[in-house]
Every structure is written in structure tokens, then in C-alpha cells.
């Protein structure tokens, strides 16, 4: 039986690298994979998953309107798909996670989703919320804070390096930067901002 996996982490834990390695392992054995990434992610050229250590692969794009289940089924009808790998899966909607559950259960194709657990405010993304609820396997990919503890929060910084506490959940393509930190250093940074804005 195929399973639905959610590989989650804060920013810069090597999610794309891990995805590309898994896809490579399938391909090496002559098996076909489908790789997806979010249309919203404009960091790299469209239609590619790229890792920070230099690996890359072509990818299909999904937006929040994409019927991802139908797309996978069509591809599978043309040539057997052995595994589906989705980068930036936190951008998926509840409906799309339901579609992926069906691909896993009815089409018996393993689906591996890679994404962030929470946004810079510490709130769940829609995709992450339903993957945490419904995935068969939850796997945390770890990265570390500057203090050496596990980083499970993401700070959003403006172009001057000042911490931003409010704003839209998605702001890819802005001049913001994201830094992964532990919960304590996230709290410290956010409290510092709140203190100085009260003065
Ligand atoms: Zn820390």
C-alpha cells in the first residue's frame, strides 16, 4: 500500500535537496517520478526544483486552482508513475491534500510532500495543517538555530535585517529574508520588536 508522507521543517533544512535525492533514487532504478513545485515560488526559474547545494530537476507547477489529483492520474495513464514528490507543499489547499490522499489510496502511488510547518508568525500553512492531520508518515527535517538548538521557527527580516512580526503569510519575491531559529530565540526576537514599538 502506498503512503502519504509529510517532510516538514523550518526554512533552509535541505527539503529540496532531500526531495531531489529521493527522486534520483527512484529514477536510478528505472522508475518514473513526477516532481511538482508551487507556481508562487519565483526564487528560481519556473518549473524547476533547485537545492542550495546545486542539484536541480524539472518540475510541474501547481497553483491553488490546480486539480493535482487529475493531473497525476493523467500522467499515470500515459506512463506508470512510481512516486510523486511535491516541493513547497505548504501552499497546497485542503482540497488538494484530499486529492493527494486519493492518489495514495486509490491509485496506489506514494506521495512525498516537502514543506514548511509554520509561517513567520508561527501559524500553520493550509497545506501543512492538513498534511499534519492526514499524512501516514510525518518526518521532521532538522536544521539548527545559531545557538545550536533545533530551529523550528522562521523569522522574517526586512532588507535592513529588522524582524517583521506582521504581514501577509506569503511574500515571496519581496526583499525579505528568512532565518530559522529555535522557539526561544524566536520569542526573544519578537518580544524585542514589540518592546521597541511600544516606546
Ligand atoms: Zn536559539
Q: For the chain, give every domain's residue range.
A: 4-142
Binding-site residues for substrate, in ranges, read 170-173, 178
Residue 187 Cα to ligand 1 midpoint, Å, equals: 10
Please enumerate, by residue number, every residue annotated as part of a binding site: 9-16, 87-90, 145, 147, 170-173, 178, 182, 185
Q: What is the largest CA-CA distance in the chain?
A: 63
Cα of 88 from ligand 1 centre, angstroms: 25
pLDDT band at 162; cut points 50, 70, 90: confident
pLDDT of residue 166: 81
CA distances from 87 to 35, 40, 59, 167, 182 (A): 8, 12, 9, 24, 23
What's the grid cell of residue 17? 535537496
The Å distance, Cα 166 to ligand 1 centre, comes to: 21
* Other beta carbons less than 10 A from residue 81's beta carbon: 21
Per-residue pLDDT, averaged over 5-25, amounts to 94
**pLDDT value of residue 175:** 64
The binding site for Zn(2+) consists of: 145, 147, 182, 185
Mean pLDDT of the chain: 91
CATH topology of domain 4-142: Rossmann fold (3.40.50)
Cβ neighbors of 2 (< 8 A, separation 6 or more) are 104, 105, 107, 108, 109, 110, 111
* Residue 194 predicted with pLDDT over 90: no
Is residue 88 annotated as a catalytic residue, yes or no?
Answer: yes
Burial class, 197, CB count within 10 angstroms (exposed 0-12 / middle 13-18 / buried 19+): exposed
Q: How remote is the CA of residue 160 from the centroid of ligand 1, in Å?
A: 21
Q: Which of 157, 42, 141, 143 is nearest to 91 (CA)?
A: 42
Distance 192 CA to ligand 1 centre (A): 15
What is the arithmetic mean of pLDDT over 2-14? Answer: 93
pLDDT in tens, 49-100: 988 888 899 999 999 999 999 999 999 999 999 999 999 999 999 999 999 9
Q: What is the pTM of this model?
A: 0.91
Q: Which of 88, 98, 140, 168 is catalytic?
A: 88
Amino acid at each position: 500500500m502506498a503512503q502519504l508522507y509529510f517532510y516538514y521543517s523550518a526554512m533552509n533544512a535541505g527539503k529540496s535537496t532531500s526531495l531531489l535525492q529521493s527522486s534520483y533514487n527512484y529514477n536510478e532504478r528505472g522508475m518514473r517520478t513526477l516532481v511538482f513545485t508551487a507556481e508562487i515560488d519565483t526564487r528560481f526559474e519556473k518549473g524547476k526544483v533547485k537545492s542550495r547545494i546545486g542539484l536541480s530537476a524539472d518540475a510541474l507547477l501547481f497553483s491553488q486552482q490546480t486539480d493535482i489529483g487529475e493531473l497525476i492520474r493523467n500522467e499515470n495513464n500515459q506512463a506508470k508513475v512510481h512516486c510523486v514528490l511535491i516541493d513547497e507543499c505548504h501552499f497546497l489547499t485542503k482540497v488538494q491534500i484530499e486529492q493527494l490522499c486519493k492518489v495514495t489510496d486509490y491509485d496506489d502511488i506514494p506521495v512525498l510532500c516537502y514543506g514548511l510547518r509554520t509561517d513567520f508568525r508561527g501559524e500553520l500553512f493550509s497545506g501543512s495543517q492538513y498534511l499534519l492531520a492526514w499524512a501516514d508518515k510525518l518526518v521532521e527535517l532538522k536544521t539548527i538555530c545559531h545557538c545550536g538548538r533545533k530551529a523550528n521557527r522562521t523569522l522574517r527580516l526586512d532588507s535592513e535585517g529588522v524582524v517583521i512580526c506582521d504581514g501577509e503569510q506569503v511574500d515571496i519575491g519581496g526583499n525579505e529574508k528568512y532565518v530559522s531559529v529555535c522557539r526561544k530565540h524566536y520569542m526573544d526576537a519578537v518580544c524585542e520588536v514589540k518592546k521597541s514599538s511600544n516606546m
